[in-house]
């Protein structure tokens, strides 16, 4: 059985080697070692250890992607081959309909998309195109991200591309520590369904909305393409690696960070604030009222 000391050592080694802000790793190392030395982790089972270490990590460095996760089913310690990992994720995306839970035409010819996952473009492209085809003739659109917990930057790029008229809109940049390089994300030139560039869009958010879901909301907000309605999102802007450090424990290490070309920053730790703040349960009704008013003014 892996000891608490071994779990902490393995987690700190991975954080030190990979965290996107290397200048912060010394403070993280000092904080966790101090907690270990004072006996804070004695007598805990692995699940409790993960919860307390995560709290301590985020006290030392408030990054919501920096965590220890406990899993009931033991996992192999050997690094999973990339093709196996891709196949497993592809199966997960397919079983969840590439993140698209519902597509509807609501009263007043307003389209509605309920997205729970932002699937990678190479997997979700046909499903995304099908959804956009179904709402292509609506007068306005609601994108419901209240239960969207993340996804792929390339998937966000594809979704965003449908809401602009061409391929000349700079959406986001991501800096990667491992390669010391920055990748730019622009709207795409070719899409498999009609664009939706000129009609009102409302995006629903909540304190569950996270990571890739937040990027979709943030991009559309700062580019003036959508009105955000609901609650402030959770605040996770860093692409993250998941590394198994014991059969039941995974450390998640942010290895990259988003840099928005308009704001020069991102939503890490603060979340994405709505334009129209209402309780998340009331967001759809508020968005529909806003959109009906907007459509009436056109």
- Token pair of 49 as six digits: 């250890």
Whether residue 78 lies inside any domain: the answer is no
Is 77 or 294 the better-scoring residue by pLDDT? 294
CB 10 within 8 A of CB 20: no
Whether residue 277 lies inside any domain: the answer is yes
Asked if residue 139 and residue 34 are part of one domain, the reply reads: no
**CB atoms < 10 A from the CB of 27, how many?**
11
CB 149 within 8 A of CB 210: yes
Whether residue 74 lies inside any domain: the answer is no
**Could you report the per-residue pLDDT of 104-129, keeping only the tens digit for each?**
999 999 999 999 999 999 999 999 99
Asked if residue 173 and residue 38 are part of one domain, the reply reads: no
Asked if residue 278 and residue 195 are part of one domain, the reply reads: yes
Mean pLDDT, to the nearest integer, of 152-178? 96
Q: Residues of the chain with pLDDT > 70: what percent?
A: 99
pLDDT band (50, 70, 90) for residue 78: confident
pLDDT band (50, 70, 90) for residue 77: confident
Give the span between the Cα atoms of 203 and 275, in whole angstroms: 10
Asked if residue 175 and residue 50 are part of one domain, the reply reads: no
Whether residue 79 lies inside any domain: the answer is no
Asked if residue 38 and residue 148 are part of one domain, the reply reads: no
Asked if residue 32 and residue 168 are part of one domain, the reply reads: no
Asked if residue 158 and residue 288 are part of one domain, the reply reads: yes
pLDDT at 84: 77
Among the candidates 25, 45, 66, a domain finishes at 66
Task: Give the SS3 label for residue 22.
Answer: helix
Among the candidates 26, 44, 66, a domain finishes at 66
**Could you report the per-residue pLDDT of 191-241, keeping only the tens digit for each?**
999 999 999 999 999 999 999 999 999 999 999 999 999 999 999 999 999
Give the span between the Cα atoms of 178 and 13, in whole angstroms: 15
CA angle at residue 128 from 127 to 133, to 5 degrees? 95
Whether residue 259 lies inside any domain: the answer is no
Whether residue 262 lies inside any domain: the answer is no
Whether residue 246 lies inside any domain: the answer is no
Asked if residue 165 and residue 20 are part of one domain, the reply reads: no
Q: How many domains does the chain have?
A: 2
Asked if residue 159 and residue 19 are part of one domain, the reply reads: no
Asked if residue 291 and residue 193 are part of one domain, the reply reads: yes
Asked if residue 211 and residue 140 are part of one domain, the reply reads: yes
Asked if residue 212 and residue 163 are part of one domain, the reply reads: yes
Among the candidates 19, 47, 66, a domain finishes at 66
The domain that holds 112 is classified in CATH as: 3.90.226.10
Residue range(s) defining the domain that contains residue 27? 4-66
- Token pair of 143 as six digits: 């994108």
Whether residue 76 lies inside any domain: the answer is no
């Amino acid at each position: 059985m892996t000891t608490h000391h071994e779990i902490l050592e393995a987690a700190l080694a991975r954080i030190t080697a990979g965290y996107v802000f290397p200048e912060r790793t010394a403070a993280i190392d000092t904080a966790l070692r101090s907690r270990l030395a004072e006996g804070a982790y004695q007598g805990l089972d692995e699940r409790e250890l993960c919860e307390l270490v995560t709290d301590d990590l985020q006290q030392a460095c408030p990054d919501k992607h920096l965590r220890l996760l406990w899993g009931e089913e033991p996992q192999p310690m050997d690094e999973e081959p990339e093709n196996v990992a891709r196949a497993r994720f592809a199966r997960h995306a397919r079983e969840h309909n590439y993140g698209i839970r519902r597509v509807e035409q609501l009263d007043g010819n307003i389209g509605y998309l309920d997205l729970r996952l932002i699937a990678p473009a190479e997997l979700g492209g046909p499903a995304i195109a099908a959804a956009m085809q179904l709402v292509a003739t609506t007068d306005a659109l609601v994108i419901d991200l209240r239960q969207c917990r993340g996804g792929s930057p390339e998937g966000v790029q594809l979704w965003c591309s449908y809401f602009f008229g061409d391929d000349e809109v700079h959406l986001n940049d991501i800096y990667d520590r491992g390669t010391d390089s920055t990748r730019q994300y622009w709207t795409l030139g070719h899409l498999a369904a009609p664009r939706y560039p000129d009609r009102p869009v409302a995006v629903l958010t909540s304190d569950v909305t996270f990571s890739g879901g937040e990027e979709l909301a943030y991009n559309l907000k700062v580019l003036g393409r959508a009105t955000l309605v609901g609650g402030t999102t959770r605040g996770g802007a860093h692409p993250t690696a998941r590394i198994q450090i014991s059969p039941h424990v995974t450390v998640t290490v942010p290895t990259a960070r988003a840099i928005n070309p308009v704001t020069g920053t991102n939503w890490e730790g603060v979340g994405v604030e709505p334009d129209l703040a209402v309780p998340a349960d009331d967001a759809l009704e508020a968005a529909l009222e806003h959109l009906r008013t907007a459509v009436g003014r056109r």
